[in-house]
A and B are shown apart, each in its own frame.
Chain A
Amino acid sequence: MFMYEYFLEKNQNLKHMKPLRLLALFIIPMGLIIAAVPQNKTKPYKLTADQLLGEANTRTQYIAPEAVADLIIKKDPSFRLIDVRSQDDFEKFSLPGAINIPVSDLLSDKYTDILNQDVKMNIFYSNGTITANEAWMVTRQLGYKNNFVLEGGLNYWFDAILNPKKPASTSPDEEFAKYDFRLSAGKALGGGLSVQTSQNQSTESSKPSIQAAPKKKKASGG
Protein backbone atom coordinates (compact mmCIF):
# COMPACT_ATOMS: atom_id res chain seq x y z
CA MET A 1 0.00 0.00 0.00
CA PHE A 2 2.76 2.47 0.87
CA MET A 3 4.50 1.82 -2.41
CA TYR A 4 1.33 2.89 -4.18
CA GLU A 5 1.08 6.17 -2.28
CA TYR A 6 4.74 6.85 -2.90
CA PHE A 7 4.34 6.11 -6.57
CA LEU A 8 1.35 8.46 -6.77
CA GLU A 9 3.17 11.31 -5.09
CA LYS A 10 6.16 11.00 -7.38
CA ASN A 11 3.99 11.21 -10.47
CA GLN A 12 1.65 13.97 -9.43
CA ASN A 13 2.82 16.31 -12.13
CA LEU A 14 2.26 13.99 -15.07
CA LYS A 15 -1.04 14.82 -16.73
CA HIS A 16 -3.59 12.01 -17.08
CA MET A 17 -1.40 9.64 -15.14
CA LYS A 18 -3.97 8.01 -12.96
CA PRO A 19 -6.24 6.74 -15.72
CA LEU A 20 -3.22 5.59 -17.66
CA ARG A 21 -1.82 3.66 -14.75
CA LEU A 22 -5.21 2.16 -14.13
CA LEU A 23 -5.45 1.17 -17.75
CA ALA A 24 -2.00 -0.37 -17.73
CA LEU A 25 -2.67 -2.21 -14.48
CA PHE A 26 -5.79 -3.77 -15.87
CA ILE A 27 -4.81 -4.40 -19.44
CA ILE A 28 -1.40 -5.98 -18.98
CA PRO A 29 -2.71 -9.03 -17.09
CA MET A 30 -5.56 -9.30 -19.61
CA GLY A 31 -3.01 -9.26 -22.37
CA LEU A 32 -0.97 -11.94 -20.65
CA ILE A 33 -4.01 -14.16 -20.29
CA ILE A 34 -4.98 -13.82 -23.92
CA ALA A 35 -1.39 -14.39 -25.04
CA ALA A 36 -1.20 -17.55 -22.99
CA VAL A 37 -4.36 -19.00 -24.46
CA PRO A 38 -3.58 -21.38 -27.32
CA GLN A 39 -4.78 -20.21 -30.72
CA ASN A 40 -7.37 -22.98 -30.95
CA LYS A 41 -9.49 -21.60 -28.18
CA THR A 42 -10.22 -18.51 -30.17
CA LYS A 43 -11.09 -20.49 -33.27
CA PRO A 44 -14.56 -20.37 -34.79
CA TYR A 45 -17.63 -22.12 -33.80
CA LYS A 46 -18.04 -25.84 -34.29
CA LEU A 47 -21.25 -27.77 -34.52
CA THR A 48 -22.65 -29.57 -31.52
CA ALA A 49 -23.69 -33.20 -31.76
CA ASP A 50 -27.36 -32.17 -31.78
CA GLN A 51 -26.91 -29.79 -34.67
CA LEU A 52 -24.96 -32.31 -36.66
CA LEU A 53 -27.60 -34.99 -36.11
CA GLY A 54 -30.27 -32.53 -37.15
CA GLU A 55 -28.51 -31.73 -40.38
CA ALA A 56 -27.74 -35.36 -41.13
CA ASN A 57 -31.40 -36.26 -40.61
CA THR A 58 -32.66 -33.66 -43.03
CA ARG A 59 -30.17 -34.92 -45.60
CA THR A 60 -29.17 -31.41 -46.59
CA GLN A 61 -25.76 -32.62 -47.60
CA TYR A 62 -26.90 -34.66 -50.56
CA ILE A 63 -26.60 -33.58 -54.14
CA ALA A 64 -28.37 -35.55 -56.82
CA PRO A 65 -26.19 -37.07 -59.52
CA GLU A 66 -28.17 -35.25 -62.21
CA ALA A 67 -27.24 -31.95 -60.64
CA VAL A 68 -23.60 -32.93 -60.51
CA ALA A 69 -23.66 -34.14 -64.11
CA ASP A 70 -25.15 -30.80 -65.07
CA LEU A 71 -22.38 -28.93 -63.30
CA ILE A 72 -19.69 -31.02 -64.97
CA ILE A 73 -21.14 -30.57 -68.42
CA LYS A 74 -21.63 -26.86 -68.00
CA LYS A 75 -18.05 -26.65 -66.74
CA ASP A 76 -19.34 -24.69 -63.80
CA PRO A 77 -16.30 -23.33 -61.97
CA SER A 78 -17.99 -23.10 -58.61
CA PHE A 79 -17.67 -26.72 -57.62
CA ARG A 80 -15.01 -29.31 -56.99
CA LEU A 81 -15.33 -33.10 -56.84
CA ILE A 82 -13.42 -34.86 -54.09
CA ASP A 83 -12.84 -38.59 -54.31
CA VAL A 84 -12.50 -39.88 -50.75
CA ARG A 85 -11.48 -43.41 -51.67
CA SER A 86 -7.94 -44.72 -51.64
CA GLN A 87 -5.42 -43.54 -54.18
CA ASP A 88 -5.53 -46.88 -55.99
CA ASP A 89 -9.26 -46.68 -56.50
CA PHE A 90 -8.95 -43.11 -57.60
CA GLU A 91 -6.42 -43.98 -60.23
CA LYS A 92 -8.53 -46.81 -61.62
CA PHE A 93 -11.49 -44.54 -62.21
CA SER A 94 -12.51 -41.09 -61.14
CA LEU A 95 -15.06 -38.53 -62.12
CA PRO A 96 -13.85 -35.81 -64.49
CA GLY A 97 -11.89 -33.13 -62.73
CA ALA A 98 -11.98 -34.82 -59.33
CA ILE A 99 -9.18 -34.59 -56.80
CA ASN A 100 -8.28 -37.35 -54.41
CA ILE A 101 -8.39 -36.89 -50.65
CA PRO A 102 -8.47 -40.35 -49.10
CA VAL A 103 -10.68 -40.17 -46.04
CA SER A 104 -7.85 -41.42 -43.82
CA ASP A 105 -5.93 -38.25 -44.73
CA LEU A 106 -8.90 -35.97 -44.33
CA LEU A 107 -7.61 -34.00 -41.35
CA SER A 108 -4.12 -33.48 -42.69
CA ASP A 109 -2.99 -29.83 -42.80
CA LYS A 110 -2.46 -29.84 -46.52
CA TYR A 111 -6.16 -30.21 -47.17
CA THR A 112 -7.52 -27.73 -44.65
CA ASP A 113 -7.62 -24.89 -47.13
CA ILE A 114 -9.55 -27.02 -49.60
CA LEU A 115 -12.06 -28.29 -47.07
CA ASN A 116 -12.54 -25.13 -45.02
CA GLN A 117 -13.44 -22.34 -47.38
CA ASP A 118 -16.40 -20.53 -48.75
CA VAL A 119 -15.55 -20.12 -52.39
CA LYS A 120 -16.28 -23.48 -54.00
CA MET A 121 -18.76 -26.26 -53.41
CA ASN A 122 -16.93 -29.45 -52.44
CA ILE A 123 -18.72 -32.65 -53.40
CA PHE A 124 -17.48 -35.81 -51.71
CA TYR A 125 -18.04 -39.10 -53.45
CA SER A 126 -17.10 -42.72 -52.90
CA ASN A 127 -18.36 -46.04 -54.24
CA GLY A 128 -21.48 -45.96 -52.13
CA THR A 129 -22.23 -43.13 -49.76
CA ILE A 130 -20.80 -44.40 -46.52
CA THR A 131 -17.26 -43.13 -46.92
CA ALA A 132 -18.37 -39.86 -48.46
CA ASN A 133 -20.73 -39.33 -45.57
CA GLU A 134 -17.90 -40.03 -43.15
CA ALA A 135 -15.96 -37.23 -44.74
CA TRP A 136 -18.96 -34.97 -44.63
CA MET A 137 -19.67 -35.65 -40.98
CA VAL A 138 -16.13 -34.98 -39.87
CA THR A 139 -15.76 -31.74 -41.80
CA ARG A 140 -19.25 -30.55 -40.88
CA GLN A 141 -18.57 -31.14 -37.22
CA LEU A 142 -15.56 -28.86 -37.51
CA GLY A 143 -17.86 -26.15 -38.76
CA TYR A 144 -16.65 -26.25 -42.35
CA LYS A 145 -19.22 -25.21 -44.87
CA ASN A 146 -19.93 -25.90 -48.53
CA ASN A 147 -19.24 -29.63 -48.37
CA PHE A 148 -21.72 -32.05 -49.93
CA VAL A 149 -22.17 -35.72 -50.72
CA LEU A 150 -22.93 -37.23 -54.08
CA GLU A 151 -26.19 -39.07 -53.63
CA GLY A 152 -25.80 -42.76 -54.32
CA GLY A 153 -22.08 -42.50 -54.93
CA LEU A 154 -20.34 -44.00 -57.93
CA ASN A 155 -22.48 -47.12 -57.92
CA TYR A 156 -25.60 -45.12 -58.51
CA TRP A 157 -23.75 -42.85 -60.90
CA PHE A 158 -22.90 -45.76 -63.17
CA ASP A 159 -26.43 -47.01 -63.05
CA ALA A 160 -28.27 -43.80 -63.40
CA ILE A 161 -26.06 -41.62 -65.53
CA LEU A 162 -23.82 -43.80 -67.56
CA ASN A 163 -26.32 -46.61 -68.17
CA PRO A 164 -29.74 -45.16 -67.54
CA LYS A 165 -32.64 -47.57 -67.79
CA LYS A 166 -35.42 -46.58 -70.08
CA PRO A 167 -38.54 -46.03 -67.98
CA ALA A 168 -41.62 -48.19 -68.58
CA SER A 169 -44.08 -46.63 -71.02
CA THR A 170 -46.54 -45.97 -68.23
CA SER A 171 -44.12 -43.85 -66.24
CA PRO A 172 -44.82 -40.16 -65.73
CA ASP A 173 -43.27 -37.61 -68.06
CA GLU A 174 -40.79 -36.63 -65.42
CA GLU A 175 -39.18 -40.02 -65.59
CA PHE A 176 -38.73 -39.70 -69.32
CA ALA A 177 -37.29 -36.28 -68.91
CA LYS A 178 -34.89 -37.58 -66.34
CA TYR A 179 -34.00 -40.44 -68.62
CA ASP A 180 -33.34 -38.10 -71.54
CA PHE A 181 -31.12 -35.98 -69.42
CA ARG A 182 -29.21 -38.92 -68.06
CA LEU A 183 -28.74 -40.33 -71.52
CA SER A 184 -27.23 -37.18 -72.88
CA ALA A 185 -25.29 -36.51 -69.74
CA GLY A 186 -23.92 -40.01 -69.84
CA LYS A 187 -22.85 -39.52 -73.43
CA ALA A 188 -21.18 -36.27 -72.58
CA LEU A 189 -19.43 -37.68 -69.59
CA GLY A 190 -18.63 -41.04 -71.05
CA GLY A 191 -17.46 -39.84 -74.39
CA GLY A 192 -17.98 -36.15 -74.69
CA LEU A 193 -20.38 -35.86 -77.59
CA SER A 194 -23.11 -33.37 -78.24
CA VAL A 195 -25.35 -32.43 -75.41
CA GLN A 196 -29.02 -31.88 -76.04
CA THR A 197 -30.36 -28.62 -74.75
CA SER A 198 -33.65 -30.11 -73.66
CA GLN A 199 -32.00 -31.28 -70.49
CA ASN A 200 -32.17 -27.81 -69.04
CA GLN A 201 -35.90 -27.78 -68.70
CA SER A 202 -36.18 -31.44 -67.92
CA THR A 203 -34.34 -31.83 -64.66
CA GLU A 204 -36.95 -32.00 -62.02
CA SER A 205 -34.36 -31.75 -59.32
CA SER A 206 -34.04 -28.04 -58.86
CA LYS A 207 -30.81 -26.21 -58.32
CA PRO A 208 -28.27 -27.95 -56.13
CA SER A 209 -29.18 -27.71 -52.51
CA ILE A 210 -26.60 -25.05 -51.57
CA GLN A 211 -29.47 -22.81 -50.61
CA ALA A 212 -30.64 -25.31 -48.03
CA ALA A 213 -27.52 -24.89 -45.93
CA PRO A 214 -27.84 -21.29 -44.81
CA LYS A 215 -25.03 -19.27 -46.31
CA LYS A 216 -24.04 -16.60 -43.85
CA LYS A 217 -23.55 -13.31 -45.59
CA LYS A 218 -20.63 -11.46 -44.09
CA ALA A 219 -20.76 -7.72 -43.75
CA SER A 220 -18.73 -5.87 -46.34
CA GLY A 221 -16.40 -3.03 -45.56
CA GLY A 222 -16.13 0.62 -46.48
Chain B
Amino acid sequence: MSNSEKSGPTKYLNPYIGGVLLGIVLLAANFVSGRGLGASGAIKSALVTAETVITPATSEKSGFIKEFREEHPGNPMKTWLVFEMTGVIVGGFLSGALAGRLKFKVEHSPKITSRKRLILALTGGVLFGFGSQLGRGCTSGAALSGMAVLSLGGFITMMAIFGTAFALAYFFRKNWI
Protein backbone atom coordinates (compact mmCIF):
# COMPACT_ATOMS: atom_id res chain seq x y z
CA MET B 1 0.00 0.00 0.00
CA SER B 2 1.33 3.41 -0.81
CA ASN B 3 2.73 5.28 2.10
CA SER B 4 1.90 8.93 2.13
CA GLU B 5 4.17 9.83 5.05
CA LYS B 6 7.81 10.51 4.27
CA SER B 7 10.81 9.69 6.43
CA GLY B 8 11.48 13.37 6.96
CA PRO B 9 9.79 16.62 6.04
CA THR B 10 10.52 17.47 2.46
CA LYS B 11 12.06 20.85 1.85
CA TYR B 12 10.01 23.20 -0.23
CA LEU B 13 10.96 26.65 -1.39
CA ASN B 14 9.69 29.59 0.62
CA PRO B 15 6.32 30.38 -0.97
CA TYR B 16 6.97 34.10 -1.26
CA ILE B 17 10.20 33.48 -3.08
CA GLY B 18 8.47 30.86 -5.18
CA GLY B 19 5.71 33.30 -5.94
CA VAL B 20 8.07 36.04 -7.04
CA LEU B 21 9.97 33.56 -9.22
CA LEU B 22 6.72 32.40 -10.77
CA GLY B 23 5.83 36.02 -11.40
CA ILE B 24 9.13 36.46 -13.20
CA VAL B 25 8.41 33.39 -15.36
CA LEU B 26 5.00 34.84 -16.17
CA LEU B 27 6.57 38.20 -17.00
CA ALA B 28 9.02 36.44 -19.31
CA ALA B 29 6.17 34.66 -21.09
CA ASN B 30 4.41 37.95 -21.71
CA PHE B 31 7.60 39.65 -22.82
CA VAL B 32 8.63 36.91 -25.20
CA SER B 33 5.34 35.71 -26.57
CA GLY B 34 2.81 38.36 -25.71
CA ARG B 35 0.72 35.92 -23.70
CA GLY B 36 0.66 34.47 -20.22
CA LEU B 37 1.08 30.91 -19.03
CA GLY B 38 -1.62 28.32 -19.52
CA ALA B 39 -2.35 24.63 -19.32
CA SER B 40 -5.85 23.56 -20.27
CA GLY B 41 -5.33 24.59 -23.87
CA ALA B 42 -2.64 21.96 -24.27
CA ILE B 43 -5.15 19.27 -23.35
CA LYS B 44 -7.45 20.60 -26.04
CA SER B 45 -4.61 20.41 -28.58
CA ALA B 46 -3.85 16.85 -27.64
CA LEU B 47 -7.49 15.93 -27.85
CA VAL B 48 -7.90 17.48 -31.28
CA THR B 49 -4.89 15.51 -32.51
CA ALA B 50 -6.24 12.31 -31.00
CA GLU B 51 -9.67 12.84 -32.45
CA THR B 52 -8.47 13.59 -35.94
CA VAL B 53 -6.33 10.49 -35.88
CA ILE B 54 -8.81 8.10 -34.31
CA THR B 55 -12.16 9.34 -35.53
CA PRO B 56 -11.74 11.76 -38.41
CA ALA B 57 -15.45 11.59 -39.12
CA THR B 58 -16.64 12.98 -35.78
CA SER B 59 -13.90 15.57 -35.68
CA GLU B 60 -15.34 17.18 -38.79
CA LYS B 61 -18.77 17.52 -37.28
CA SER B 62 -17.71 19.10 -34.02
CA GLY B 63 -18.09 22.86 -34.12
CA PHE B 64 -15.63 23.31 -31.31
CA ILE B 65 -12.86 21.50 -33.11
CA LYS B 66 -13.58 23.36 -36.30
CA GLU B 67 -13.08 26.65 -34.48
CA PHE B 68 -9.84 25.37 -33.08
CA ARG B 69 -8.62 24.30 -36.51
CA GLU B 70 -9.47 27.68 -37.93
CA GLU B 71 -7.43 29.43 -35.30
CA HIS B 72 -4.55 26.98 -35.50
CA PRO B 73 -3.95 25.81 -39.02
CA GLY B 74 -1.38 23.10 -39.35
CA ASN B 75 -0.36 20.63 -36.72
CA PRO B 76 -2.56 21.07 -33.63
CA MET B 77 0.31 19.95 -31.44
CA LYS B 78 2.57 22.72 -32.66
CA THR B 79 1.17 25.31 -30.31
CA TRP B 80 2.69 27.49 -27.65
CA LEU B 81 0.86 25.68 -24.87
CA VAL B 82 1.93 22.21 -25.91
CA PHE B 83 5.57 23.25 -25.95
CA GLU B 84 5.13 25.01 -22.63
CA MET B 85 3.49 22.01 -20.95
CA THR B 86 6.23 19.73 -22.21
CA GLY B 87 8.62 22.10 -20.48
CA VAL B 88 6.51 21.93 -17.31
CA ILE B 89 6.95 18.18 -17.21
CA VAL B 90 10.69 18.53 -17.63
CA GLY B 91 10.92 21.34 -15.09
CA GLY B 92 8.82 19.53 -12.54
CA PHE B 93 10.88 16.41 -12.99
CA LEU B 94 14.14 18.30 -12.56
CA SER B 95 12.89 19.96 -9.43
CA GLY B 96 11.63 16.70 -8.02
CA ALA B 97 14.89 14.98 -8.83
CA LEU B 98 16.89 17.74 -7.17
CA ALA B 99 14.76 17.58 -4.03
CA GLY B 100 14.57 13.81 -3.90
CA ARG B 101 10.82 13.79 -4.36
CA LEU B 102 10.68 11.42 -7.29
CA LYS B 103 8.46 8.53 -6.33
CA PHE B 104 5.50 6.71 -7.78
CA LYS B 105 2.72 7.03 -5.29
CA VAL B 106 -0.86 7.98 -4.75
CA GLU B 107 -0.91 10.87 -2.39
CA HIS B 108 -3.87 10.89 -0.07
CA SER B 109 -5.02 11.73 3.39
CA PRO B 110 -4.56 8.84 5.80
CA LYS B 111 -8.31 8.93 6.37
CA ILE B 112 -9.19 7.59 2.92
CA THR B 113 -7.88 4.79 0.73
CA SER B 114 -5.75 5.12 -2.37
CA ARG B 115 -8.60 3.82 -4.43
CA LYS B 116 -10.93 6.52 -3.19
CA ARG B 117 -8.30 9.13 -3.90
CA LEU B 118 -7.93 7.95 -7.46
CA ILE B 119 -11.67 8.04 -8.04
CA LEU B 120 -11.78 11.57 -6.62
CA ALA B 121 -8.87 12.59 -8.82
CA LEU B 122 -10.63 11.28 -11.88
CA THR B 123 -13.87 13.03 -11.01
CA GLY B 124 -12.06 16.26 -10.27
CA GLY B 125 -10.23 15.97 -13.56
CA VAL B 126 -13.40 15.48 -15.58
CA LEU B 127 -15.03 18.49 -13.93
CA PHE B 128 -11.95 20.62 -14.38
CA GLY B 129 -11.51 19.58 -17.97
CA PHE B 130 -15.05 20.53 -18.80
CA GLY B 131 -14.98 23.72 -16.78
CA SER B 132 -11.70 24.90 -18.25
CA GLN B 133 -13.11 24.79 -21.76
CA LEU B 134 -16.21 26.66 -20.71
CA GLY B 135 -14.24 29.17 -18.71
CA ARG B 136 -11.64 29.59 -21.44
CA GLY B 137 -8.73 28.79 -19.21
CA CYS B 138 -7.77 27.26 -15.90
CA THR B 139 -6.09 28.67 -12.81
CA SER B 140 -2.86 29.21 -14.74
CA GLY B 141 -4.31 30.60 -17.92
CA ALA B 142 -7.34 32.53 -16.80
CA ALA B 143 -6.77 33.29 -13.16
CA LEU B 144 -3.04 33.83 -12.85
CA SER B 145 -2.18 35.15 -16.29
CA GLY B 146 -5.45 37.04 -16.43
CA MET B 147 -4.73 38.83 -13.18
CA ALA B 148 -1.26 39.82 -14.34
CA VAL B 149 -2.72 41.65 -17.33
CA LEU B 150 -5.67 42.93 -15.33
CA SER B 151 -8.21 41.00 -17.37
CA LEU B 152 -11.73 41.25 -15.99
CA GLY B 153 -12.71 37.83 -17.37
CA GLY B 154 -9.68 36.24 -15.74
CA PHE B 155 -10.50 37.83 -12.44
CA ILE B 156 -14.13 36.70 -12.55
CA THR B 157 -13.15 33.14 -13.37
CA MET B 158 -10.62 33.17 -10.56
CA MET B 159 -13.21 34.34 -8.05
CA ALA B 160 -15.61 31.67 -9.26
CA ILE B 161 -13.01 28.91 -8.93
CA PHE B 162 -11.79 29.80 -5.49
CA GLY B 163 -15.18 30.85 -4.23
CA THR B 164 -16.76 27.55 -5.24
CA ALA B 165 -13.88 25.53 -3.85
CA PHE B 166 -14.15 27.31 -0.53
CA ALA B 167 -17.91 26.88 -0.48
CA LEU B 168 -17.69 23.16 -1.16
CA ALA B 169 -14.68 22.57 1.08
CA TYR B 170 -16.80 21.62 4.04
CA PHE B 171 -18.48 18.80 2.15
CA PHE B 172 -15.23 17.24 1.08
CA ARG B 173 -13.22 17.85 4.21
CA LYS B 174 -13.04 14.18 5.07
CA ASN B 175 -10.91 13.62 2.02
CA TRP B 176 -8.26 16.07 3.01
CA ILE B 177 -8.08 16.63 6.73
| Residue of B whose beta carbon sits closest to that of A27 | B20
Q: A219-B33, A221-B41, A222-B141 are in contact. Are A19 and B71 (CB under 8 A)?
A: no
> A75 near B: Cβ within 8 Å?
no
- Whether A218 and B16, one on each chain, are in contact in the complex, defined by CB atoms closer than 8 angstroms, is no
Beta-carbon contacts of A8-20 to B below 8 Å, as 1s and 0s? 0000000010011
Beta-carbon contacts of B73-112 to A below 8 Å, as 1s and 0s? 0000001110000000000000000000000000000000
- Whether B16 and A222, one on each chain, are in contact in the complex, defined by CB atoms closer than 8 angstroms, is no
Chain A residues near B141 (CB, 8 Å)? 221-222
- Whether A16 and B41, one on each chain, are in contact in the complex, defined by CB atoms closer than 8 angstroms, is no
- Whether A221 and B35, one on each chain, are in contact in the complex, defined by CB atoms closer than 8 angstroms, is yes
- Whether B14 and A222, one on each chain, are in contact in the complex, defined by CB atoms closer than 8 angstroms, is no
- Whether B16 and A19, one on each chain, are in contact in the complex, defined by CB atoms closer than 8 angstroms, is yes
| Residue of B whose beta carbon sits closest to that of A217 | B34
- Whether A221 and B34, one on each chain, are in contact in the complex, defined by CB atoms closer than 8 angstroms, is no
Chain B residues near A218 (CB, 8 Å)? 34
> B69 near A: Cβ within 8 Å?
no
Closest approach, in angstroms, between the C-beta of B73 and any C-beta of chain A?
12
- Whether B15 and A222, one on each chain, are in contact in the complex, defined by CB atoms closer than 8 angstroms, is no
Q: A16-B14, A16-B15, A19-B14 are in contact. Are A222 and B20 (CB under 8 A)?
A: no
Beta-carbon contacts of A189-222 to B below 8 Å, as 1s and 0s? 0000000000000000000000000000011111
Interface residues of A in 1-47 (CB under 8 A from B): 16, 19-20, 22-23
| Residue of A whose beta carbon sits closest to that of B44 | A222
| Residue of B whose beta carbon sits closest to that of A22 | B16
> Can you pick out 28 interface pairs between chain A and chain B where the beta carbons lie within 8 Å of each other?
A16-B15, A16-B16, A19-B14, A19-B16, A19-B17, A20-B16, A22-B16, A23-B16, A23-B20, A218-B34, A219-B33, A219-B35, A219-B80, A220-B35, A220-B71, A221-B35, A221-B38, A221-B41, A221-B136, A221-B141, A222-B38, A222-B40, A222-B41, A222-B42, A222-B44, A222-B79, A222-B81, A222-B137
